[in-house]
Amino acid sequence: MKIAKLPSSYKDPSGFVFQHQGKIFRQINEGYEDTYKHLMTSGLYKKLIDTNTLIPHTEVDLKFNKTSKTIIEPKPIPFISYPYEWSFSQLKDAALLTLFVQKTALSFGMSLKDASAFNIQFIDGKPIFIDTLSFEMYKEGKPWIAYKQFCEHFLAPLALMAHTDFRLQKLFSSYLNGIPLDLAAKLLPLQAKVRPANFLHIFLHARSQKTFIDESVEKKSKGQRFTKHSFLGLVDSLESSIQHIKLPIAKTVWSSYYNDNNYQDATFNKKKDVVTEYVKKVSPKTLWDMGANTGVFSRIAAKLGVFTVAMDSDFIVVEQNYLEMKKQNEKNILPLWIDITNPSASIGFAAQERDSLFKRPLPDAILALALIHHLAIGHNIPLATLAEFFAQMTNWLIIEFVSKEDSQVKRLLQNREDIFPNYTKESFKKEFSTFFVAKNETLLPNSHRTLYLMQKRKS
């Protein structure tokens, strides 16, 4: 039987990840067996599981090609997300988790051989380390092999977001191996460059990469040792660097949406009731809240036990959503910074390493509230195209139509020519009826907004 290796699992010779009968497994190669045994028997695995920082796994008896290699089945992750889809605090928490795992590993005689942000996923609002094979035996005297990667995957993007512009987070999708330190050094403003942590781990680090290029490590190091004390000092220095990076509070268009829009309390409460009723009717297992804002409606679904991916194109509301769920210790929500008009594509080696949004498991239902006017008017996407777009993703759609009389739509049209004669409730219903059957329709009181529950037509 041929094993279907995941396209992203090619770098590490210790083992690989594969899919079998819809489940994810990890094979441990012979050369890594002893290290894996140390992880399991030294107490490190138990400690990390107890602190909810490493994905738990069970060893399974799957025999492939008559080999007797160890195969483990990690606990499934509800939805794989990538660093370029995370908010500032998600990346910061992922960085701190990586350092916690590294510190814990060191106290059990092991060390992380990589520090990739792609090794972290989120479950119920908390980051978790998913690469069980990232550990190696700690060799006293050697520097941290993953120092460069840690700076490129965490420190540089966080510093850029905090000190230059949070939108630079998207650089990550162009630089999958992390933000080159010389680039980060160039983009950081002077006042950020002179901060000791940035000066040391980004600026001087980048300079030394240039200085020592093509040098022989053996010759240059002259047998100099990197003591365990220095190693712990390095991890400690990185930890306090990360802890001190703070995102300046920025107010964007959408972060104040619920405070200064045209909603009346009665309308808003009715909307919540209708969404609750529709979600209950469909009772999906998974839902995507597209244009989720700070997640008010995502929470309705999440509280009903529906796993909800809350996407928004506005960075700050995603940040607020994440911080709120962290504060309230909420489950079932995954806030992600995704622009529906330009969602994550398949990228990396052979354009297969990181899946596009649509290659990941599609949801049972989609919530599209106060969204259609932005796509149809803000982005000139025809209603017929939108209807087909939603039909490709889901069987159930809870969608709000906001008509031209609504103040938000008026705002979109105030300084431009109205080239949307077809943007009417009638043509919306007509175009969507090609792909969906409207099961329910509720006009929200004192508003120009209607909510629909639609089911995809059987083809």
Partner 1 sequence: MKTKIFLYGLVLFFVLAPKPTYAYLDPGTGSYLFQLVIAGLLGGLFFIKTIIRKIKGIFKRDSSRKAATTENDENS
- Which residues, 6+ apart, have CB-to-CB distance to 122 below 8 Å? 81, 90, 128, 334
Q: Least CB distance from residue 204 to partner 1, whole Å?
A: 7
Is 144 or 315 the residue whose CB approaches partner 1 more closely?
144
d(CA 92, CA 102): 15
Work out whether 145 is an interface residue with partner 1 (CB under 8 A). yes
Residue at 121: amino acid letter: Q
Place of tokens 């998600």: 90
Should residue 200 be labelled a site residue for partner 1 when binding is judged by CB under 8 A?
yes
> What is d(CA 369, CA 354) in angstroms, rounded to the nearest whole number?
28
Q: Which of 21, 65, 68, 211 binds partner 1 (CB under 8 A)?
A: 211
**Structure tokens given for 78:** 């509800």
**Among residues 13, 109, 305, 445, which is the contact residue for partner 1, using CB under 8 A?**
13
Q: Which is nearer to partner 1, 204 or 443 (CB)?
A: 204
Size of the site for partner 1 (CB under 8 A): 42
Share in percent of the chain as helix, strand, coil (round to 5): 45, 20, 35
In whole angstroms, give the CA distance from residue 158 to residue 403: 40
Which of 142, 410 has the CB closer to partner 1? Answer: 142
Applying CB under 8 A, the span of 47-55, 120-128, 220-228, 282-290 interacting with partner 1 comes to: 220-228
Span of 94-102, 143-151, 331-339, 426-434 interacting with partner 1 by CB under 8 A: 143-151
Nearest distance in Å: CB 234, partner 1:
5
Q: Which of 9, 237, 407, 424 binds partner 1 (CB under 8 A)?
A: 237
Quick check: 111 binds partner 1 (CB under 8 A)?
Answer: no
Nearer to partner 1, 113 or 163 (CB): 113
Number of helices and strands in the chain (H, E): 19, 16
Determine which residue in the list 66, 68, 191, 214 makes contact with partner 1, applying CB under 8 A: 214
Which one of 10-18, 39-47, 88-96, 355-363 is the stretch in contact with partner 1 (CB under 8 A)? 10-18
Contact between 146 and partner 1 per CB under 8 A = yes
Span of 89-97, 144-152, 352-360, 451-459 interacting with partner 1 by CB under 8 A: 144-152
Select from 398, 376, 414 the least CA-distant residue to 450.
398
Helices (H), 311-406: 315-327, 372-373, 383-393
Local structure of 134: helix, strand or coil: coil
Strand partners, 365: 287, 396
CA–CA separation, 31 vs 365, rounded Å?
A: 45
Q: Which residue lies nearer to partner 1 by CB, 207 or 280? A: 207
Q: Does 204 bind partner 1 (CB under 8 A)?
A: yes
Burial class for 22, CB neighbours closer than 10 Å (0-12, 13-18, 19+):
exposed
Whole-number minimum distance, CB 182 to partner 1, in Å? 10
232 contacts partner 1 (rule: CB under 8 A): yes
Under 8 Å between Cβ of 115 and 153 = yes
Residue 209 binding partner 1, by CB under 8 A: yes
**Cβ closest to partner 1, residue 115 vs residue 338:** 115
CB of 201 to partner 1, least distance (A): 9
Q: Using the CB atoms, write b or e for 161-200: b if 16+ within 10 Å.
A: bbbeebebbebbbebbebbebbbbbebbeeebbebebbee
At closest approach, how far in Å is the CB of 47 from partner 1?
Answer: 22
Separation CA 199–CA 189 (nearest Å): 12
Pick the piece of the chain touching partner 1 (CB under 8 A) from 95-103, 142-150, 265-273, 347-355: 142-150
Q: Interface with partner 1 by CB under 8 A: which range of 16-24, 199-207, 254-262, 446-454?
A: 199-207
At residue 333, φ and ψ (nearest 5 deg) are -120, 140
Q: Is 113 in the site for partner 1 (CB under 8 A)?
A: yes
Q: Is 208 in the site for partner 1 (CB under 8 A)?
A: yes
Token pair, residue 268, equals 């808003």
Binding residues vs partner 1 (CB under 8 A): 11-14, 31-32, 35, 113-114, 136, 143-149, 151, 200, 204-205, 208-215, 217, 220-221, 224, 226-227, 229-230, 232-234, 236-237
